[in-house]
Structure 1
Amino acid sequence: MIFRQLFDPASSTYSYLMASRRGGEALIIDPVLEKVDRYLQLILELDLKLVKAVDTHLHADHITGLGALRDKTHCTTVMGEQTKADVVSMRLSDNDKLTIEGLSLDVIYTPGHTDDSYSFVLPDRVFTGDTLLIRGTGRTDFQNGDPRAQFESIFGRLLKLPDTTLVYPAHDYKGDTVSTIGEEKAFNPRLQVRSADEYADLMNNLKLSNPKMMDVAVPANMKIGMDHHDVDSRGWSLSVRQVFDLMGRPDVTLIDLREDSERQRHGVIPTSLHFPYPALAESIGAGGVLHELGVSTTKRLVFYCAFGERSAMAVQAAHDAGIASACHMEGGIDAWKKANGPVTH
């Protein structure tokens, strides 16, 4: 496995780039906006293709790199389903899988630092965000933090992992880079408590000042949705009602870009075909199935995804590939279901 731990000294943030092999798909966890060019250079040097950019939670001490990485690489942005961010391409929930080619991370909902905090687990390591730090834990006094929820996230979930599990947090302010679950059980001073009440009392009396970037970072990180102006102005966007009116026509094909786990949880629009977004380039290129559908048969291709992010990027790519009939459904299946559009499971 290719694995890189990257550091932003201004915010003391760790970001993690990983892939199963050279030339393969990659994901990055907790990227920082100011370091995006560095990430892209490293991705180029390692011959990787960034397909997912993930935030463990809505950060208050730096501006996320999710939006910039999406705009520059067309990757999928990922956060937990509780996030207050306006639009991310994919939203995960507890016990989901975060997957790329050759790698699958278990998804654990670990609220407490914030109400949208998640951790991601590989067989030998866990990425804990700000829930569990090295010899510390994330503060719980803003962004709907809850010390009792954090106690359960740590003691009920994270500390149940094997003692040898490597702990990779989102921040460290002392220069430590990695720990283990066993070390934190033994030496983390905030974990030497006997009850949730004792932990809550400890966390409620830290009397910490707010992060320096909080007033800037939180609003910025809530507004990371894609600007669809170019897609809309070119007439490549359809409303849910327009798509509903097109259903059943023989010259129209709906293309679902979501992953299997999303389809299983949220259902699919009847008669739609499944072409997962990470594999789209092959399908729309010359000789690909969607290229043949859109060019040789002149079918109108209507892309949709979860919230309209991946489909907006897909329609741009399809037109670049010469599929002039491609368009996408605004708002994705989220908007479709809110409008009571038919869904099958």
Structure 2
Amino acid sequence: MIFRQLFDHVSGTYTYLLASRPGGEALIIDPVLEKVDRYLQLFDELDVKLVKAVDTHLHADHVTGLGALRDRTHCITVMGEQTKADVVSMRVADGDRIDIEGLSLEALFTPGHTDDSYSFLLEGRVFTGDTLLIRGTGRTDFQNGDPRAQYHSIFDRLLKLPDETLVYPAHDYKGDTVSTIGEERLFNPRLKVRSVDEYVDLMNNLNLPNPKMMDVAVPANMRVGFHQDEIARKGWAAQAAEALALFGRPDIAIVDLREKREREKQGIIPGSLHAPYPDLRESIGPGGALHELAAAGKTILFYCAFGERSAMAVQAAQDAGFKSARHIAGGFDAWKKENGAVAP
């Protein structure tokens, strides 16, 4: 496995790059905007293709690199379903898995630092975001933080993992790079409390100053920018109600870009074809299934979970000559809200 731990000195942020092999797919966790050029260089040096970029939570101390990586690599952006960030094209819930070639991470909902905080478990290591730090825990006094929720996230979820599980946090300010669950249980001073009430009292009396970039980072990370807006301005978007009117027409091919796990969990638009977003370039290229459909006169109508992947897909299809290609604005979520038919 390829594993790299990268560091941003300004915000004290750790970013993690994962891939199963050279020449394969890669995933990045908690990227920082100012480091995007370095990440892109590293992808080239390691010969990996970024397919997913993940944030553990809505950060307050730096601007995320998710939007820039999406725009420059066309990767899938991933966060927990509770997030208010608009850049997310795949939202995960507790127990969901984030898959790339050869690797699969389990999403653990671990709120408390923020109300959208997740940790991600992979093969004896856990990426804890700001929930569990090395000899510390994330503050709980802003962004709907909740010390009681954080106590349960740590004591009832993370500390239930095997002692040898490696702990990789999103931040460190002392120079530590990795710990273990066993070490944190033994040596983390925040975890020496005897009850949840004692932990709540401890966290409520830290009296820490706000992060220096909080007033900039939080608004910027909530609205990284809808990729869908530009697609709509070009006339390539169908609102859900319009998509309902197109449903069932023989000249329309509705194409689902979501992954198999998403389809199994959420259902599908009846009769839609499955062409997973990571395979899009092959599908729309000469000889590809979608290329053949378009050549036969079909209008391709893409959809995904919330419209971000399908917005990128319709741009790629238009660039490939699919001049009638469109997508469902707001994705499957908007379709369901419009009472569109759903099949298992």
Per the shorter chain, which TM-score range?
over 0.9
2:60 alignment counterpart: 60
Q: What residue identity is the alignment partner of 1:233?
A: R
1:99 alignment counterpart: 99
Give the gaps of 5 or more residues in structure 1: none
What does residue range 139-158 of structure 1 map to in structure 2 within 5 Å? 139-158=139-158
Counterparts in 2 of 1:230 and 1:117: CA distance versus 1, 3 Å: closer
> Offset at 1:289?
0.7
Asked if the contact 1:88/1:224 (under 8 Å) is kept, the reply is no
1:341 alignment counterpart: 340
1:22 alignment counterpart: 22
> Offset at 1:87?
4.0
Give the gaps of 5 or more residues in structure 2: none
What does residue range 1-345 of structure 1 map to in structure 2 within 5 Å? 1-295=1-295, 297-345=296-344
> Offset at 1:286?
0.8
Quote the Cα distance in structure 2 between the aligned partners of 1:50 and 1:234: 27
Counterparts in 2 of 1:79 and 1:291: CA distance versus 1, 3 Å: same
> Offset at 1:124?
1.3
> Offset at 1:320?
1.9
Q: What residue identity is the alignment partner of 2:164?
A: T
Partner of 1:50: helix, strand, or coil? strand
Quote the Cα distance in structure 1 between the aligned partners of 2:41 and 2:336: 40
Partner of 2:269: helix, strand, or coil? coil
Quote the Cα distance in structure 2 between the aligned partners of 1:216 and 1:230: 24
Quote the Cα distance in structure 2 between the aligned partners of 1:106 and 1:270: 29
- Post-superposition Cα deviations, 1:52-82, rounded to whole Å, max 9, x if no partner, equal 1100000000000000100111101110000
Partner of 1:94: helix, strand, or coil? coil
Structure 1 stretches of 4+ with a deviation exceeding 3 A read 227-230
Quote the Cα distance in structure 2 between the aligned partners of 1:290 and 1:332: 19
Quote the Cα distance in structure 2 between the aligned partners of 1:144 and 1:57: 12
Partner of 1:5: helix, strand, or coil? strand
Counterparts in 2 of 1:233 and 1:177: CA distance versus 1, 3 Å: same
Q: What residue identity is the alignment partner of 2:209?
A: S
> Offset at 1:339?
1.1
Q: What residue identity is the alignment partner of 1:13?
A: T
TM-score (norm 1): 0.98
> Offset at 1:230?
4.0
Quote the Cα distance in structure 2 between the aligned partners of 1:292 and 1:178: 50
Q: What residue identity is the alignment partner of 1:142?
A: F
Asked if the contact 2:30/2:64 (under 8 Å) is kept, the reply is yes
Asked if the contact 1:88/1:225 (under 8 Å) is kept, the reply is no
Quote the Cα distance in structure 2 between the aligned partners of 1:241 and 1:8: 45
TM-score (norm 2): 0.98
Partner of 1:343: helix, strand, or coil? coil
Partner of 1:58: helix, strand, or coil? coil
> Offset at 1:280?
1.1
Report the aligned-residue RMSD: 1.0
- Post-superposition Cα deviations, 1:265-288, rounded to whole Å, max 9, x if no partner, equal 221111101111111111111111
Q: What residue identity is the alignment partner of 2:315?
A: Q
Partner of 1:292: helix, strand, or coil? helix
| Aligned positions, number | 344
Counterparts in 2 of 1:171 and 1:235: CA distance versus 1, 3 Å: same
Asked if the contact 2:227/2:308 (under 8 Å) is kept, the reply is no
Asked if the contact 2:114/2:144 (under 8 Å) is kept, the reply is yes
Asked if the contact 2:227/2:311 (under 8 Å) is kept, the reply is no
Comparing 319-328 with 108-117, greater Cα deviation is found at 319-328
